[in-house]
Structures are given as C-alpha cells and as structure tokens.
Amino acid sequence: MAEPEPPPGGAEGRTLWHGRFAEGPAEALLAFTASLGFDQRLAGDDLAGSRAHVRMLGAVGVLGGDEVAAVLGALDQVEAELGAGAFVFAPTDEDIHTAIERRVTELAGAAGAKLHTGRSRNDQVVTALRHFVRREGAAVRDAVLDLQAVLVARAGEAGTEAYLPGYTHLQRAQPVLLGHHLLAHFWAFTRDVARLDDALARADVSPLGAGALAGSSLPLDPDATATALGFSRRFENSLDAVADRDFVAELCFACTVVMVHLSRLGEEVVLWTSEEFGFLRLADEYATGSSMLPQKKNPDIAELARGKTGRVIGNLTGLLAMLKGLPLAYNRDLQEDKEPLFDTLDTTRLALRAVTGMMATAEFRVDVMRAAADAPASSATDLAEWLVARGTPFREAHAIVGSLVRQSLDRAVPLAELVMTDPHLGPDALGVLEPGQAVVRRRTPGGAGPEPFGPQLAAARAWLAGRPAPPTD
Ligand code: ARG
C-alpha cells in the first residue's frame, strides 16, 4: 500500500497524524501545543511503557517475534541516544512520546511503525505519568523521612533539660521542652508520610490498554502490561483510565501540605534567629549574608520554604481549576497536568533537603530559651493550679493570680513578692516560681514536661523504625 503524501517540508515535517491532513502544522500551533520542553523527563517512563506494550503485542500474537525484537532493539538505541545527549529532536516532535515513536520508526522501519498498535497517546501519556509518580512521589516521602530523623535526633539531644517558652497567639504561654517542640513538627510530618503513601497507592494503576478511550478491537492484555510495569492493578474503565488525574491532584495536595508544614517551621526559624528571640543560630553553610550590611546573617532557606509554599498552593489550585470543567474522556487540557506536578515535586524535594540540612546543623541557644521561659509570669497557670489543689475553684484562682500579675506590672513589683504576701498564696506557693519548675509540672501524657517526654520520644523513634523499606522499582 502506498504511503499517503507527506505534507510540505518532507518527512521531517510530518506529524504522527499526517495521513488525515493535506497541510502540515502551523508554527504557531506547534509553539502553543508542544509539551516536549517539559515532558522530556518522562522519557524513561515512556520507554518502559513501550517495552511492556510491544512485548504484550508479541505475546498475544499481534506482532511477530522478529518485529518485537526489532522494536525492542530500536527502543534500546533511543535510550542510548537520549542518555548520551545524541538524540536529535525534529521540529514536529510535539512531545517526548511522539519523538520516541518517530525515532523507533526511523530505526526499525515497518516493525517500528507497529509500536503504536492498539495504543493511543491518551493511555500512553498517563501510563508514563503514573510510572513516574510512583518513583518521584516515593522520593519526596523519603525526603520527609530524612527530615523527621533529624528532628527526632535533635529532640533526643535536647533531652529533658532544655526548655523554652511555648506560645499561643505568639504570646508567651507556658514553658515547653525544646524536644517536645521539635517533636510537634515531627508528628505533623508523620501525617504527610501517610498522605503521600495513600496518594501513591491510588496512583498505582496501569491505564495502558485503554487506548484513546474505549480499548481496542485487538486482543490486548492490559493485565500483562500492568504486571510488566510493576503496577498493582489495571484500570477498570477505559474512559476513567484516560480522563483521571486525581492521582496528580492528590500528590500535589500531599506535597502542598508538606510545604505548609515546612513554611510554618520556617517561620519559627525566622523568628528564633532574630535578635529579638535569639533562640537559634544557623550554621554558616545554611545561612546567607547581606550584600550591604556586613553584620547580617539571614535565614533564607526558612524564608524560601515559606515563600515557595505560595507557588505550590498555586500549582494545586491551577490544576484543580483545569480539571473541573472537562467532559470525559481525554482532553488536551490534561497536558497541563505536568508542569504543576513537576514543579511541586521539585520544589518540595529541594525545600526538604535544605530545611533538613538547616535543622541538622543549627545551634539551639538553650540558655537564652531558658531565661525567656523562666520569666515568673510563665508560672501563672501553675500558681492558679496550686490554689486549685488546695480547694479553690479554678475560675476564682485564675482571678486571684491574674490580679497579682496585673499589680506586678502596674507597680513594677516582682511577682514573687506579691505571692509571698498574698493571703491565698503566701511563702508556701513560692516554690512554683522557681526557675525550671513550670515545665517539670507538665505531666499529662503527651504533654510538654520531662516525664511524658521519654515515652513520646520512644514512640517517635518506634514510628521511624517501623517504616517499611521504600519499594524498589
Ligand atoms: N503531550 C500530550 C499530553 O501530555 C500528549 C497527548 C496528546 N494526545 C492527543 N490525543 N492529542 O497530554
């Protein structure tokens, strides 16, 4: 059978769909619709999908053994060319999938032209993307675990002696152990790991075999390709298989919450490294200087963890907005799934790596923390609870101590002096104001004092140790 006439520009200017078209694509069309600039990073995943597909075609008898071998050989060659940076892209290669198929056809001739049998780019791209997500999503999860290991190690070092003011409304509230504070961040990240694992479990479905939207008249075996690609299962519905990008949205959301957690931790680092707080000193390698002010040491990692969170929130929002109006099944809009996903994964991983290094090397200024936490007003609740233990109703006790704190501030008299002479409190209550006492009294399981800290640290270590080994691809 004769080849259809190539469009003007010769074979080079041919698109995959040239048969139906008398004219080649306008430059403006290619410039606007091409995704090659960003989807090249799916090359390895696309090759894996093509290998699985062509082997399956051989196994079901659609391709002969020689043809399968020829296509596999061409795919190896493409992989080598891509790896060596020797792969030559054509102006009509609108995405990496097109580019690879074009080259396979150049290399393997008629057999190469059979690679796409029973397959559409619609199932091909989403297969590559799910394959990519399993690996890259797991890498983010592992980076979260690295940060958690640092937080647990630093909490362990801080032990039961280091404490600082705990804050509500950014006002000093009650002293808390430094280790307890660090583990608060650790537990937030345990939820991120669970969310990432959960998103990855739902991404673990092979859409290959769904074709453009309806499957094929050829005897395809999507279970075989699912297994060959290491997916746990195949799609249940071909329309859903090519239209579904929930897994992209879920992974972006899980990463966005990681970033929100890094941003909140970052905000504390910004505060703590300020002269006003003085609780933290960053290692030189994890701080930056000012081009003008010689004395400055800036917490840029913490600030950018905060700042880049805005970007990933934007990525997630844009992605959801792109999805919301799409009818079944594939629509070209879906090509817009990749940039937000790639940027979110990259940003989250880089942020995790930098924050992990920053937290591993920062110096906690325990003396400054302690001095701030030992301000007598931090013990106000304990004075009230001292009264409660002796039968005073809490609301009354609260009023008594509140009035003493107010007098102490108004008259510039030390709180201890007022406690000493107060008819409800007196000298027996003074012990409550001793430095370091307030934190020791926080005995509630899961609370901020030294007594519950041991079990909490053990639980955090057990959680880390109990993580299953990351899946090997
Ligand atoms: N680059 C496109 C994407 O990522 C390829 C799919 C185009 N499919 C199609 N039927 N035109 O979604």
Does residue 6 carry a pLDDT above 50? no
Ligand 1, atom 2: closest residue by C-alpha: 335
The answer on pLDDT for 377 being more than 90 is: no
Domain 130-371 in CATH 1.10.3720.10? The answer is no
Which superfamily does CATH assign the domain made up of 11-117 to?
A: Fumarase/aspartase (N-terminal domain) (1.10.275.10)
Per-position DSSP letters for 193-248, written without gaps between them: HHHHHHHHHHH-EE-TT-TTTT--SS---HHHHHHHTT-SEE-S-HHHHHH--HHH
| 232 among known catalytic residues | no
pLDDT of residue 23: 87
User: Helix, strand or coil for residue 312?
Assistant: helix
pLDDT digits (tens, 9 = 90+) for 384-394: 999 999 999 99
β strands within 280-413, DSSP E: 280-281, 363-364
Domain 372-465 bears CATH identifier 1.10.40.30: yes
Q: Is residue 46 lining ligand 1, measured as CB closer than 6 Å?
A: no
Active site residue 181: no
- Look at the block and give the residue holding tokens 């992605």: 319
Per-residue pLDDT band at 468 (split at 50, 70, 90): low
Residue nearest to atom 12 of ligand 1 (CA): 335
* Nearest residue to 39 via CA among 102, 105, 88, 97: 97
Model confidence band, residue 15 (pLDDT cutoffs 50, 70, 90): confident
- Model confidence at 472: pLDDT above 80: no
Query: At residue 8, does pLDDT exceed 90?
Result: no
Residue 247: other Cβ atoms inside 10 A: 23
Q: Where are the domains of the chain?
A: 11-117, 130-371, 372-465
pLDDT tens digit sequence for 29-77: 999 999 999 999 999 999 999 999 999 999 999 999 999 999 999 999 9
Within 10 angstroms of residue 410's Cβ, the number of other Cβ atoms is 8
Please indicate whether residue 165 or residue 378 has the higher confidence score (pLDDT). 165
How confident is the model over 153-212, as pLDDT tens digits? 999 999 999 999 999 999 999 999 999 999 999 999 999 999 999 999 999 999 999 999
171-177/163-168 β-pairing: antiparallel
Residue 467 φ/ψ, nearest 5 degrees: -65, 130
Q: Which two tokens stand for residue 354?
A: 């930098």
Among candidate residues 290, 291, 379, 398, the one labeled active-site is: 290
DSSP string for 344-364: HHHHHHHHHHHHHHHHHH-EE
pLDDT digits (tens, 9 = 90+) for 274-301: 999 999 999 999 999 888 887 888 999 9
Q: Supply the pLDDT for residue 469.
A: 54
What is the whole-number distance in angstroms between the Cα of residue 87 and the centre of ligand 1? 21
Say if residues 97 and 46 touch (Cβ distance below 8 Å). Answer: yes
Indicate whether residue 121 lines ligand 1 (CB < 6 A). yes
- Average pLDDT on 9-19 reads 63
